[in-house]
Each structure stands twice: as structure tokens, then as C-alpha cells.
């Protein structure tokens, strides 16, 4: 079996796992009786989806140090989870009920802010030719986008200053969740940073 066929099989497995995590996570959250369990499993689902999404990106490129890959996956996982800390900041309370019953959405759930932030980081990385900064910007993009997309099934995307969109369908949420890491792979492939080909060699 050719190496690229093995990688293709791993991608199929990871995409399937990504879908299962999304569906099972939402099922567990929906049927959890205690508020603290709902919050815990909701946050864990965000985190796992973020980590799996970046793992898909990492598998698209080879000749990388394993420790770098593990660090980036951990960073994306933690970032996707920590986004919800802004609920407590906005509530000015460590009480879970206060944090989950806000009248307005907290700052880190603003999708237009996310796009502005990540676009700025990517442009800076391109102009100063810094590879790690590009990857950092894309890690942030995946963590926030996967988080916001999952939340959008309930409240839509918050596009400041125009307000929120209507909630998206569950099918669209699953499709977008699958597409996000592959969109990032395209960005990494087409953004030309000095000596990029020496570090990231496309597998397929």
C-alpha cells in the first residue's frame, strides 16, 4: 500500500471521529441533567473538536518534529476550551449559573473579531516571513472557528457591528466542522513563506 493511501485512510478515520465527537458530545450535553455536567461536556466537546481539527492539518504535512506537532495540537485543544472563560469574565463571577445566563454574548464569541485577529496575524506572518507565526494564527483560527460554528447551531454567528445571524442547521454545522481544517491546509499550502517547502512537504 502506498504511503499516501495510508494517510488518506487516516484522514477518513479522523473525519469520521470528528463527526462522532460532535454528535455524541451534543447528545451527552442535551441529556445531562445537572447544569455542571452540561457545561463540562460542552466544553470538552469544543476542546476535542479543536484538537482533532489541528491534527488533520498536521497530517497534511510531513517532515515535522513530533514534539512540535503535539504542542500545537495541545495548544489548539486548550484554546478551543478556554474561549468559554470569557463567560465568567463577562459575568464578573465564578458562579456557573451567572456565567451561562448572560444577557449578551461575551467578547471572545464575536466572529468578526476572530476574523480580524487571525487575518492580521496571517498578514504579519506573510510580510515578515515567519512560519511559526502563520501556524499560530491558523491554530487560533481553527480553535475559534470550530467553537463559534458549534455555538452557531443555537445562536448563530455574532458579526459585529451587524448583529447575529440566524442559527445554522445541524447538517451545515457538521459540514463546516469537516471543511475548516482542510481550508486551513489550503491556506498553508498557498501562502508562500521563505523556505516553506523545506519544512512542509505535501503528502498528497
Give residue 3's pLDDT.
47
**Cβ atoms < 10 Å from Cβ of 158:** 22
Give residue 91's pLDDT.
81
Residue ranges of the chain with per-residue pLDDT less than 70 = 1-8, 62-64, 192, 194-204
Give residue 76's pLDDT.
97
Give residue 96's pLDDT.
77
Per-residue pLDDT tens over the stretch 140-178: 999 999 999 999 999 899 998 888 899 999 999 999 999
Give residue 148's pLDDT.
95
Instruction: State how far the alpha carbon of 114 is from the alpha carbons of 22, 110, 166, in Å.
Output: 22, 7, 19
Amino acid at each position: 500500500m502506498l504511503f499516501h493511501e495510508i494517510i488518506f485512510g487516516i484522514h477518513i478515520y479522523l473525519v469520521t471521529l470528528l463527526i462522532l465527537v460532535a454528535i455524541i458530545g451534543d447528545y451527552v450535553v442535551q441529556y445531562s441533567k445537572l447544569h455542571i455536567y452540561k457545561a463540562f461536556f460542552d466544553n470538552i466537546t469544543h476542546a476535542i473538536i479543536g484538537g482533532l481539527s489541528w491534527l488533520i492539518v498536521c497530517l497534511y504535512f510531513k517532515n515535522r518534529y513530533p514534539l512540535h506537532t503535539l504542542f500545537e495540537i495541545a495548544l489548539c485543544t486548550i484554546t478551543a476550551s478556554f474561549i468559554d472563560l470569557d463567560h465568567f469574565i463577562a459575568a464578573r463571577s465564578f458562579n456557573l449559573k451567572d456565567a451561562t445566563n448572560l444577557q449578551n454574548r461575551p467578547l471572545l464569541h464575536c466572529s468578526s473579531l476572530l476574523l480580524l485577529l487571525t487575518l492580521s496575524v496571517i498578514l504579519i506572518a506573510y510580510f515578515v516571513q515567519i512560519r511559526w507565526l502563520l501556524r499560530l494564527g491558523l491554530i487560533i483560527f481553527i480553535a475559534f472557528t470550530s467553537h463559534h460554528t458549534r455555538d452557531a447551531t443555537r445562536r448563530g454567528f455574532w458579526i459585529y457591528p451587524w448583529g447575529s445571524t440566524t442559527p445554522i442547521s445541524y447538517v451545515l454545522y457538521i459540514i463546516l466542522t469537516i471543511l475548516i481544517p482542510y481550508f486551513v491546509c489550503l491556506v498553508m499550502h498557498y501562502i508562500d513563506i521563505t523556505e516553506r517547502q523545506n519544512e512542509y512537504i505535501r503528502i498528497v
